[in-house]
Amino acid sequence: MSSKAPKFLDDVLLRCRNAGLRRTRALEAVLQSLVSSNKPLTLAHVAESPELKNSCDKATVYRLLTRLEHHGIIRRLGLHDRSAYYSMIFPGHHDDYLICTECGVIEKLDLACPVEKLEAQISRESGFRKLYHELEFFGVCPACG
């Protein structure tokens, strides 16, 4: 876990409270596993984390993830339910992704964000503020050929 994770977790818990989410051990554990991961996690990954494996069933974890997504605290990536990934939304930070349409594997794009300039331009021209974006590129990964 990175050293900034605990502080960030407090931030996230505050955002949850402001969104009216009840602070439960399960909610904390779900957030903990997402905050301390440096890549998006599947429902199975989260549900099988040590804090949740014995205390919480998958359906509960799924409900929590859905609620967090609904409140804009995490985001969901991927094509369909069975290969959905979840990741924290860090204010002022984002990643762009590459997703395989065959097996659902997901990779962070290893390059500088290609559309930040475009985003600034759109903001100038439209008058919209606080713009953000999430890019997902879809294709077939090398393993799926």
Binding site for Zn ion (CB under 5 A): 96, 100, 102-103, 105, 113, 141, 144
Task: State in angstroms the smallest separation of the CB of 19 from Zn ion.
Answer: 25
Nearer to Zn ion, 32 or 83 (CB): 83
Residue 143 is classified by DSSP as T
Judged by DSSP in three states, 104 sits in: coil
Nearer to Zn ion, 56 or 104 (CB): 104
List, in sequence order, the alpha helices (H) in the chain: 5-18, 25-35, 43-47, 50-53, 58-70, 116-126
Task: State in angstroms the smallest separation of the CB of 4 from Zn ion.
Answer: 21
Nearer to Zn ion, 69 or 96 (CB): 96
Closest by CA position to 71, among listed 123, 30, 128: 30
Task: State in angstroms the smallest separation of the CB of 89 from Zn ion.
Answer: 13
Task: State in angstroms the smallest separation of the CB of 57 from Zn ion.
Answer: 29
- Please calculate the CA angle 32-33-35 and round it to the nearest 5 degrees: 65
Pairing type for strands 97-100 and 136-139 reads parallel
Nearer to Zn ion, 23 or 138 (CB): 138
